[in-house]
Amino acid sequence: MAEEKLIVTHEAGLHARPASVFVRAANKFESEITVRNITEGGNAVDAKSIIMILTPGVVKSHEIQIRAEGSDAGQAIQCLTDLVQSNFGEA
């Protein structure tokens, strides 16, 4: 299992384009991946579901925890962390 905590800095939060980019990236991995909103609390949700990923209501400056379990967990966490920290690929 691997996990990482980080702050979402994108204006839109985990919504709109960032949400779909994130979910697409999560779906590339075999591991089960979840996201939890640390700032607001609440349950961990399936990071591969475009619907569920919206439910923790992650907006700009919220801290999230990404957790992966499976054969490629480390890689998945690395990739998703990079994605969030790169502002979802926007400069």
15 is catalytic: yes
How far is residue 35's CA from residue 64's CA, in Å, rounded to a whole number? 7
5 belongs to the binding site for another protein (CB under 8 A): no
**Residue choice 1, 5, 7, 30 for contact with another protein (CB under 8 A):** 7
How far is residue 89's CA from residue 70's CA, in Å, rounded to a whole number? 25
The span from the first CA to the last CA of the chain, in angstroms, equals 30
**Residue choice 2, 23, 66, 77 for contact with another protein (CB under 8 A):** 23
Scan residues 29-48 and list those touching another protein (CB under 8 A): 46, 48
65 belongs to the binding site for another protein (CB under 8 A): no
Dihedral pair phi/psi, residue 3, rounded to 5°: -155, 160
Which sequence positions are flagged as catalytic? 15
